[in-house]
Amino acid sequence: MSPFMQSLGLKYPIFQGGMAWVANGELAAAVANAGGLGIIGSGHAPAAIVAKEIAAAKALTDKPFGVNVMLLSPHVEEVVQVVLQAQVAVVTTGAGNPAKYIPAFKAAGIKVIPVVPSVGLARIMERVGVDAVIAEGMESGGHVGSMTTMALIPQVVDAVNIPVIAAGGIGDGRGVAAALMLGAAGVQMGTRFLAAKECHIHEKYKAAVLKAKDIDTLVTGAYIGHPARVLKNKMSRQFVIAEKSAAVHDDNDFAAVEEIANGSLRRAVETGDDVTGSYMAGQIAGLIKTETDCATILQETIAQAQACLQHGVTGNYL
């Protein structure tokens, strides 16, 4: 394992992506206890909820874990204060530039690792002094850029002198081995952990992830500037039709379209609502067929990655 991953106190170079409304303290602690980096997703949740989940994780593990801070959240300032006080090991950030918070995080001994969708943003993040970047391809669940993981990772690895963690479309040991071969220091998986036993999304949402085929996701929100990958369902199909219609008719009714998205992930997670709820998941959902506990996910993934790296590819040889 790379010195950077070792410095985080991990047994395995695997992050569990901080997923809004999904990745709570229990999931993060289960991943931490299993040797990976568990990350609580703060999303747009108020600071009190984030503090509660951090406390829950601390009660369940003495291993390091992280918090994902959404920089566009209306509660970002309070969430940052909660994270600073809790002195979690790692902060990952989404949706923006964490530069203004970096001195405070550093002073608290917290490593800062933003998610980036491109070489340009990775370079900017390196300049503002982050510790590493998570380069995420558009195969991933949740908010996406336009680069694929396969094309993005080696370009980011060549462009920066800080560790790169690969995310997007990684669901087993073959994906981990491939990411390491592309120069990544480790991986972040989100969709794989939606099917973890310790992940308490609504059973209908989890069943949809387990049932999904390779082509069962689509990207909503591309026209309104917030593209997000979700499973195909009534909600996501209607969303895409509505935003295309707003764009074609130039009626500037994107506010109405955004209203469809508001709270849709939370509804899916809490009530399993597949009519107005977004079942966010990545393209790798098609590979995930069983609900397994976090320890088994990590052990099987690492064993398969090691086999790939020691003995070559699995599957069809040339």
Footprint of ligand FMN (CB under 6 A): 17-20, 22, 41, 43, 68, 70, 94, 115, 136, 139-142, 167-170, 188-192, 280-282, 284
Residues recorded for the chain: 318
Q: How far is the CB of 30 from ligand FMN (least distance, A)?
A: 16
CB of 224 to ligand FMN, least distance (A): 18
In 3D, which of 88, 153, 229 has the Cα closest to residue 68?
A: 88
Q: How far is the CB of 245 from ligand FMN (least distance, A)?
A: 26
- Residue 94: name the closest of 75, 122, 80, 113 by CA: 113
Asked if 160 and 122 count as a contact pair (C-beta separation under 8 A), the reply is yes
| Distance of closest approach, residue 96 Cβ to ligand FMN, in angstroms | 11
Answer for the pair 16, 27: CB distance below 8 angstroms, yes or no: yes
Minimal distance, residue 240 CB to ligand FMN, in Å? 18
Instruction: Return the number of the residue (61 or 73) whose C-beta is nearest ligand FMN.
Output: 73
Cα(200)–Cα(195) distance, integer angstroms: 9
- CB nearer to ligand FMN: give 19 or 37: 19
Residue type, 136: E
Question: Closest approach of Cβ 214 to ligand FMN, in Å?
Answer: 12
Q: Pick between residue 144 and residue 240 the one whose CB is nearest to ligand FMN.
A: 144
Q: Which is nearer to ligand FMN, 207 or 247 (CB)?
A: 207
* Surface-to-core class of residue 64, CB atoms within 10 Å of its CB (0-12 exposed, 13-18 middle, 19+ buried): middle
Q: How far is the CB of 18 from ligand FMN (least distance, A)?
A: 5
**Nearest residue relative to ligand FMN (C-beta):** 190
Tokens of 298: 């990590």
Nearer to ligand FMN, 148 or 299 (CB): 148
Are 95 and 143 in contact, with CB atoms under 8 Å apart?
yes
Q: Measured from the CB atom, is 142 or 163 closer to ligand FMN? A: 142
The long-range contacts involving 101-109, CB below 8 angstroms and separated by at least 24 positions, are 101/69, 102/128, 102/129, 102/130, 104/80, 108/84
Q: 190: which 2 tokens?
A: 């989100």
E strand or H helix at 164, and its extent? strand 164-167
Rg of the Cα trace of the chain?
A: 19
To 10 degrees, the CA torsion angle through 181, 187, 190, 191?
20
Smallest gap from Cβ 6 to ligand FMN, in A, equals 22
Q: Which lies closer to ligand FMN via its Cβ, residue 187 or residue 246?
A: 187
- What SS3 state is found at 78? helix
Nearer to ligand FMN, 136 or 274 (CB): 136
